[in-house]
Amino acid sequence: MAVLAGQRVLLGVTGGIAAYKSADLVRRLREAGAEVRVVMTEGARHFITATTLQALSGQPVRDSLWDESAEAAMGHIELARWATRIVIAPASANALAKLAHGLADDLLTTLCLASEAPLVLVPAMNRVMWAHPATRQNADLLRARGATILGPAEGDQACGETGPGRMLEPAQIVQALSA
């Protein structure tokens, strides 16, 4: 875990069922010695609360670009500079598409565009969404640009289907980040 010790990990959480696993991921990243700040999308708020992620990270959680007090000092740029790594877990199909095309229409995508930190994406979605040519191309584009894509794993999905699209388990993510 030495590689994570002292790292400043910005954890992006997007809107998918696997967002409940982000709580465990925050805990494990901190156990490995990383500082963690969480940014959630509007979608993620339907799956996990900011209160949970705030309690586990020990830091305020941001979920909007339009936060007047945080943005008085250009908070999104400060967060983008603060991060030594950006990890998005779960990364939705929507987030992959936006990042592949350089969109910056919310806090998470804006700070990804404004950061020089290495980007690690941990996709989680229905197997058909993952197999869709649009998602395939978006993932290839992101990889070609230097992003690391961890997973997805294959198995039973929340939607009742079976196939590739499951988010890696938090322990596997921490292990991969420590490698």
Ligand X SMILES: Cc1cc2nc3c(=O)[nH]c(=O)nc-3n(C[C@H](O)[C@H](O)[C@H](O)COP(=O)(O)O)c2cc1C
> Annotated catalytic sites, by residue?
159
> What are the DSSP calls for the chain, one per residue?
-TTTTT-EEEEEE-SSGGGHHHHHHHHHHHHTT-EEEEEE-TTGGGTS-HHHHHHHHTS--B--S--HHHHTTTHHHHHHHH-SEEEEEEEPHHHHHHHHTT---SHHHHHHHT--S-EEEEE---HHHHHSHHHHHHHHHHHHTT-EE---EEEE-TTS-EEEEEPPPHHHHHHHHH-
Tell me if 28 sits within 8 A of 56, measured CB to CB.
no
CB nearer to ligand X: pick between 32 and 120: 120
Tell me if 23 sits within 8 A of 56, measured CB to CB.
yes
Judged by CB under 6 A, does residue 170 bind ligand X?
A: no
Judged by CB under 6 A, does residue 16 bind ligand X?
A: yes
38-77 binders of ligand X (CB under 6 A): 41, 43-44
Task: Give the binding range for ligand X (CB under 6 A) out of 22-30, 36-44, 140-148, 169-177.
Answer: 36-44
Kindly determine how many residues on this chain lie close enough to bind ligand X according to the rule CB under 6 A: 15
CA 58 to chain centre: 18
CB of 97 to ligand X, least distance (A): 9
- Choose, by CB under 6 A, the member of 7, 9, 12, 14 that binds ligand X: 14
CB of 96 to ligand X, least distance (A): 8
113-142 binders of ligand X (CB under 6 A): 124-125, 129
- Choose, by CB under 6 A, the member of 92, 110, 115, 138 that binds ligand X: 92
CB nearer to ligand X: pick between 18 and 83: 18
CB of 45 to ligand X, least distance (A): 9
CB nearer to ligand X: pick between 17 and 70: 17
Q: Which stretches of the chain bind ligand X, using CB under 6 A?
A: 14-18, 41, 43-44, 92-95, 124-125, 129
